[in-house]
Structure 1
Amino acid sequence: MSEPFTTGSEDVDTAMGRLQDHARRQDWDLVIGLTELPLHDQEGRHLLVDTDSDRQTAVLSLPALGGFRMRIRARRAVRSLVSGMADPSTNDEHRVALPRARGRWRLLLGMVLANRPWLLVPGLKSALVAALATGAVATINSTVWLLAGSMSWWRLVSASFASVALVVAWLVIDGELRDRPDDDSPQARERSRLYNASTLMTLLVGVLICYAALYVVNLAWAFFVLDPGVMGGYVKVPIGHGDLFVLAWFVASAATVGGGFGSGLESDEAIRAAAYSKREQDRRDRLERDRSET
């Protein structure tokens, strides 16, 4: 069975209580809950799995598995949990905490992959149209040819970093994607930092994928419509086919910024839907409703 977790279910005791309620109502011998939320104990440690003292209930945090080969790792973990819970000789409470530093990065990676950052740009249609239009127009602009040819490699790299950072910052601000802690406790602040870090990494990966795709599209467009000899005669500078790669690089930076501002035509709900997985979006919507009711 599947159901959304309510506010506060990032706390492992709350999650365990929900699972035990289901076990009593359904008369189950054992129950294992899988969640896409990160789990924490009372000390603020990130957890992979926790079982109750009777070995009848367990909860497994999928992001803590690391994101890669998620289905295979989840099956192995569930089989191990079932075997342990079914063995009457082992009835002690078992709580697996992730290592402080390395575990946090693994959890963060799992949260980012759960958000599917490769679907960010297709989910923002206005941004995609704006980026493609900016690239198409810039490619055939003679001023852009001169600017691209005059820029050193480190300035091109700086322009790439600046364009990606600008778009990420714009999406966070325009879409109101910053997570706020529920209270002033260290645990709540740590959870918010984790969610905000996963949001930034999701957007960063998504925008980088967009940047690479724009580079390929603009390069293909440049080779299709531009003749280096004609370009060189127009701007009075020798231009070869190799210069088209530099041109596409510069245009990709401009197109990325154009796409970022094009996302301003999208609603906040559309930006959140593109940036988050469905379950994470539902979690944030419930948090906002709970805050508004209180």
Structure 2
Amino acid sequence: MESVRVGLVADPAAPTEIAQGMADLSPPGGHVAWDITVVSEPFTTGSDDLRTAMDRLRDQARDRDWDLVVGLTELPLHDGDGGHLLADTDPDRRTAVLSLPALGGLRVHAQARRAVRTLVSTMAEPGEQDEQRVVLPRVRGRWRLLVGMVLANRPWLLVPGLKSALVAALATGAVATINSTVWVLADSMSWWRLVIASLASVTLVVAWLVIDGGLWDRPEDDSPEARERSRLYNASTVLTLLTGVVICYVALYLVNLAWAFFVLSPDVMGGYIGASLGYGDLVVLAWFVASAATVGGGLGSGLESDEAIRAAAYSKREEDRRERLARDRQRT
């Protein structure tokens, strides 16, 4: 049976993991076998021009004697007119690029598998000579891409990167929960002030992480593409950090609530502040303490440097890719 040599070139980390799961990919109908080789290489590093990335992929195909090649990247692809791409295909050179975040972040492995099968099948067909682009819808597609970028950052893994802040916040909360002055303050707080306190505490911590970690991306030039890329990078960074900090906030609240129910009695608190209190007031107390402790613990998080925090920023990962590529070139 005739076989087609297919190369899958994937950015390091998650794209490589996804590509490795496609080593057994077969064509629809099974008339021609696919001989698939997976290579982990940051082929999009430092290339804002999609053509440059396609040229790198074609060089890989020529050097490795592949019939066609597909690149998998975690970076957003731009169409040059302010829109975003799911995939770009050059059947003439039998080269394609797939943007994984544009899949939306849900069931990425299955969606990427289907997309790669379609791309390879299209390029393997004789007579397909026109460039084919899969353009995302202007508004809905941008949100889909942004969600995909945030989920690709895996914000839940940010929690270990904030471990020292979380420990500090837990210690602060444990002490504040049994402080009589805090009881008085919590009893005086209305629900809308508690909501504002929660929002303010989370916002302050996110802002501090961005500033302290130098995570804010600035466009390299004044081109619309560079500005749009920076907006996407910064939006995904902020949303990733926001999700991670909210997870920490909820965990802190639950721990504080359990601690309050364990060590405090509403009757004792009520007798001290001269009010009739119930267990619902312990819920309010834990809420207030979580907001205060989040600020206290979060502002101390800048004392630690963790790769999980850097990984929340696409721009920092791009820097890491460039450094990795430079090291590889020095070795060769």
Decide whether the 8 Å contact of 1:215 with 1:249 is kept in 2.
yes
- Report the counterpart of residue 70 of structure 1 in structure 2: 108
User: Normalized against structure 2, the TM-score is what?
Assistant: 0.81
Query: Residue 162 of structure 1: CA displacement?
Result: 0.7
Structure 1 letter corresponding to 2:194:
L
Q: Structure 1 CA distance, aligned partners of 2:177 and 2:323?
A: 43
Tell me, which stretches of 5 or more residues in structure 2 are unaligned? 1-38, 326-332
Describe the SS at the equivalent of 1:14.
helix
How far apart, in 1, do the equivalents of 2:323 and 2:69 lie?
A: 30
1:91 partner SS: coil
| Distance change >3 Å, CA 220–CA 114, structure 1 → 2 | same
Determine what percentage of the aligned residue pairs are the same residue: 75
Q: 2:242 is matched with which residue: 181, 199, 204?
A: 204
Task: Pick the aligned partner of 2:229 from 191, 213, 231.
Answer: 191
Q: Secondary structure at the match of 2:217?
A: coil
User: Cα distance 1:75–1:193, how it changes in 2: closer, same or farther (>3 A)?
Assistant: same
Task: Report the Cα distance in structure 1 between the residues aligned to 2:48 and 2:101, rounded to whole angstroms.
Answer: 12
Aligned partners of 1:168 and 1:203 also within 8 Å: yes
For the Cα contact (< 8 Å) 1:114–1:277, is it kept in 2?
Answer: no
In the TM superposition, what is the alpha-carbon distance from 1:90 to its structure 2 partner? 2.7
Q: When the two structures are aligned, how many residues end up with a matched partner?
A: 287
Aligned counterpart, 2:308: 273
State the Cα distance separating 1:280 from its structure 2 match.
6.0
More off after superposition, 65-74 vs 118-127:
118-127
Q: How does 1:231-270 map to 2 (within 5 A)?
A: 231-267=269-305, 270=306
Matched with 1:179 is 217
For 2:127 and 2:293, the matched residues in 1 are separated by 63
Q: TM-score, normalised by structure 1?
A: 0.91
Correspondences of 1:149-188 after superposition (within 5 Å): 149-188=187-226
C-alpha distance in 1 between matches for 2:184 and 2:268 = 14
5 Å-filtered alignment, 1:82-97, equals 82-97=120-135
Instruction: State the shift of 1:288 in Å.
Output: 8.8
Secondary structure of the residue aligned to 1:177 is coil
Conserved? CA contact 1:32–1:59, under 8 Å = yes
Equivalent position of 2:254 in the other structure = 216
AA matched with 1:141: N
2:215 touches 2:315 (CA, 8 Å); kept in 1? Answer: no
By how many angstroms is 1:141 displaced?
0.9
- Give the unaligned 5+ runs of structure 1: none
**C-alpha distance in 1, partners of 2:175/2:295?**
14
Pairing 1:19–2:57 present: yes
Q: CA deviation at 1:285?
A: 3.9
| 2:160 matched residue in structure 1 | 122
Counterpart of 2:99 (choices 58, 61, 82) is 61
Deviation at 1:284, TM superposition (A): 2.6
1:131 Cα deviation from its structure 2 partner: 1.2
Aligned partners of 1:197, 1:111: CA distance in 2, in Å?
9
Cα distance in 2 for residues equivalent to 1:111 and 1:65: 10
Partner of 1:48: 86
Does the CA-based 8 Å contact 2:177-2:289 persist in structure 1?
Answer: yes
Residue of structure 1 in register with 2:9 after alignment: none
CA pair 238-213 structure 1, distance change in 2 beyond 3 A: same
Contact 2:43 2:57 in 1 (8 A): no
Separation in structure 2 between the aligned mates of residue 5 and residue 245 of structure 1, nearest angstrom: 52
Deviation, 1:238, is 1.6
Whether contact under 8 Å (2:86, 2:134) holds in the other structure is yes
Which residue is equivalent to 1:225? Answer: 263
Residues 205-249 of structure 1: CA deviation (Å, up to 9, x unaligned): 111111111111111111111111222222222221111111111
Higher relative CO (Cα under 8 Å, sequence separation at least 6) belongs to 1
Give the aligned CA root-mean-square deviation in angstroms.
Answer: 2.1
* Distance in structure 2 (CA, Å) of the matches to 1:275 and 1:130: 21
Aligned-pair distance for 1:289?
Answer: 11
Q: Which has the higher strand share?
A: 2
